[in-house]
Structure 1
Amino acid sequence: LLKEEKFNHVFCCTDNSPQENYRPTYANIKDVLGLPEEYQEKFIEEGGGDFWFFFSGHGARKDNDQEDYLLPRDASKRDLSGTSVSVTYVRQQLRKAGADKIVVIIDACRENSFSQIGEPIQAQIREMEEILIYSCRPYEKSRELDKVQQGVFTYKLLEAFRKGYVTPQKLDEYLQLEVAKLSNQTPIIRYG
Structure 2
Amino acid sequence: MADWALVIGINSYHRLRSLKYAERDGTLVRDFFANEAKFEQIFYYSDHSPEFIAPDGSSQHTQPTYANLLSFLVDFFEEPQLEPGDNFWFFFSGHGIRHQNRDYLMPSDVNPRAVEITAISINYITERLRRCGADNIVLLLDACRNEESKSGLGIGMETHQGVITISSCAPSEVSYEIQEIEQGAFTYALLESLRIQGEGNCATVERLYKRLRYRVTEINDYYGKPRQTPYAIAEPASKYHLILLPGQATEQDLATLREDAQDAELEGNFQLAEQLWTRVLALSPADPKALKALRRIWVKLEQTAKPPLSESIPELGNKSRTITPPRYSEEVPQSPLPQGILNLQSFKFDVVTV
One-letter amino acid matched to 1:167: T
**Following the alignment from structure 2 to structure 1, what is the Cα–Cα distance between the partners of residues 165 and 70?**
20
2:138 match? 103
Judge conservation of contact 1:57–1:107 (CA < 8 Å) in 2.
yes
Q: C-alpha deviations, 1:118-175, integer Å up to 9, x for none?
A: 32x22xx3xx332100000123111112233211100100111001303121012111
State the structure with more CA Rg. Answer: 2
Unaligned runs of 5+ in 1: none
Q: C-alpha deviations, 1:14-51, integer Å up to 9, x for none?
A: 011133610110011111222437x945424xx55111
2:311 match? none
User: 1:104: Cα distance to partner?
Assistant: 0.7
> Aligned match of 2:215 in 178, 184, 187?
178
One-letter amino acid matched to 1:173: K
Residue 172 of structure 1 aligns to a residue whose secondary structure is: helix
Residue 137 of structure 1 aligns to a residue whose secondary structure is: coil
Q: C-alpha deviations, 1:48-105, integer Å up to 9, x for none?
A: 5111111110111222xx2211001100111111101100010000011111100011
> Aligned match of 2:71 in 19, 31, 38?
31
Judge conservation of contact 1:55–1:107 (CA < 8 Å) in 2.
yes
Instruction: Label 1:67 to 1:144 Cα distance change in 2 as closer, same or farther (>3 A).
Output: same
One-letter amino acid matched to 2:111: S
> Aligned match of 1:76 in 111, 114, 120?
111
2:96 match? 59
Unaligned runs of 5+ in 2: 1-28, 52-59, 221-226, 237-354
One-letter amino acid matched to 2:229: T
Which TM-score applies when normalising by structure 2?
0.48
CA RMSD after TM alignment: 2.0
One-letter amino acid matched to 2:110: A
One-letter amino acid matched to 2:97: A
**Aligned residue pair count:** 182
**Following the alignment from structure 2 to structure 1, what is the Cα–Cα distance between the partners of residues 229 and 98?**
19
Judge conservation of contact 1:62–1:114 (CA < 8 Å) in 2.
no
1:8 match? 40
> Aligned match of 1:149 in 163, 182, 185?
182
Judge conservation of contact 1:60–1:115 (CA < 8 Å) in 2.
yes
Instruction: Label 1:109 to 1:93 Cα distance change in 2 as closer, same or farther (>3 A).
Output: same
- 104-113 or 175-184, which moves further after superposition? 104-113
**Following the alignment from structure 2 to structure 1, what is the Cα–Cα distance between the partners of residues 213 and 96?**
21
Same amino acid, percent of matched pairs: 39
2:329 match? none
